[in-house]
Structure 1
Amino acid sequence: MSVPGNINTAPPPSSFDTNTEFYEESRWQKLQRRLFEEPLIPLGCALTCWALFEATRSMRSGDKHRTNRMFRRRIYAQGFTILAMVAGSAYWETDRSKRNQFNELVSDREKKDKHEAWLRELEARQEEEDELRRVRERMIGRRVEEKMGAREQEERFKEEVGQDRGGVGAVRSALEESERRRPILEAVRVLWEGRR
């Protein structure tokens, strides 16, 4: 329920905040997709690592010819890896553009779904607020009715006791009934004449 004058502009928490798959592809899924799209690049990296490993073993054993051969193989493997990257980039360019278009369509659909889910959640919250408002209004109405009923009972009690005509608990005038009927100036004149 919003409070008048509330300046907090942050959106309320959503039930979708903890679902990371709702937002993006996981790293493992991305790695698997990339390995499937360009399998020659990891192969070239593995060949390069193997050539370096064999070169270090031959250096330790002291075989200079094998060491030179392994360093040449490392260079060939690195060249193969770079060539695979360039060729794969050229080969997969159309597929990547299609993939990007597909990803855009998927992300648009996900955004639309998320927006619709968010609207449904906001509508549910609004219904809850409306229900709470109706309950509060009913409670206030009952209290008002109870107060009106209590006031009516008090008025009836005053009538029964005679309090509305100056009965029990009423403040009465110090003047007698005959004094109330005479005007004040006449009462003053009578008092003045009585002192003489």
Structure 2
Amino acid sequence: MNSAPPPSSFDNDADFYEESRWQKLRRRIVEEPLIPLGCGLTVWALYEATKSMKSGDHAKTNRMFRRRIYAQGFTLLAMVAGSAYWEKDRKKRTEYNDLLEEKKKKDKRDAWIRELEARDDEDKAFAAMNKRLAEARSAEKKRLSEADARAVETKIQSDTTGIVRSVLEPGEGRRDSPLLNAAMKLWQAKSS
């Protein structure tokens, strides 16, 4: 047996679930026309009772007050009967409104999360850009320091051209040096 609730006549009517206050009032009057009728009869009875009091007709006044009580009773009965008759659709409407509110909250939360993710992506891109700039600056400083070091080294070399060099330093006549030849012979004698 199917446990699903029976379908409502308003299930496929989107206007039923999304309506303004005036649309709701009109729908309620169409759904339960006896309530406005009872209210109208009550107002009419009070109006007639007021007129008869001003004219001094006590019998008509009492009759109109009784009619007012009957009209109010009729209105109350119409309200109770209409409430019982439309109870299932009102429950469905309440469930739909709850679902709609939950969906709106979820959409709002999702939009907030998307905004946070976009901001996080921007922050990450900004941090990556700052990192690349810092690396470029340090590489530039390193290149400058290497260039400066080379410049200082060439300056030192140019200043020391007339200075005596070590025997082991590369330069002119290195192989012909008597000191170097003596050192090589000593080494070869030790290793053999």
**TM-score clears 0.5:** yes
| Alignment counterpart, residue 130 of structure 1, candidates 120, 123, 132 | 120
Runs of 4+ residues deviating >6 angstroms: none
| Alignment counterpart, residue 77 of structure 1, candidates 50, 56, 68 | 68
Q: Which residue type is aligned with residue 64 of structure 1? A: G
Q: Which residue type is aligned with residue 153 of structure 1? A: R
Q: Which residue type is aligned with residue 133 of structure 2? A: R
Identity over aligned pairs, percent: 29
| Alignment counterpart, residue 38 of structure 1, candidates 24, 28, 32 | 32
Q: Counterparts of 1:84 and 1:50 in 2: how far apart (Å)?
A: 13
Q: Which residue in 2 is equivalent to 1:148?
A: 138
Question: Please, what is the CA RMSD of the aligned residues?
Answer: 3.3
Offset from partner CA, 1:41-64 (integer Å, 9 cap, x none): 32222223223333333444xx43
Q: How much does 1:35 deviate?
A: 2.3
Scaled by the length of structure 1, what TM-score is found?
0.55
Offset from partner CA, 1:108-155 (integer Å, 9 cap, x none): 431342244234313421331232023212321222122212321331
Q: Which residue type is aligned with residue 73 of structure 1? A: M
Unpaired runs of 5+ in structure 2? 1-17, 157-192
Q: How much does 1:33 deviate?
A: 3.4
Structure whose alpha-carbon radius of gyration is higher:
2
* Counterparts in 2 of 1:84 and 1:58: CA distance versus 1, 3 Å: closer
Scaled by the length of structure 2, what TM-score is found?
0.56
Q: Counterparts of 1:116 and 1:85 in 2: how far apart (Å)?
A: 41
Unpaired runs of 5+ in structure 1? 1-23, 167-196
- Report if the CA contact (8 A) 1:58-1:64 is conserved: yes
Corresponding pairs, count: 140
* Counterparts in 2 of 1:29 and 1:78: CA distance versus 1, 3 Å: farther
* Counterparts in 2 of 1:48 and 1:72: CA distance versus 1, 3 Å: same
- Report if the CA contact (8 A) 1:41-1:84 is conserved: yes
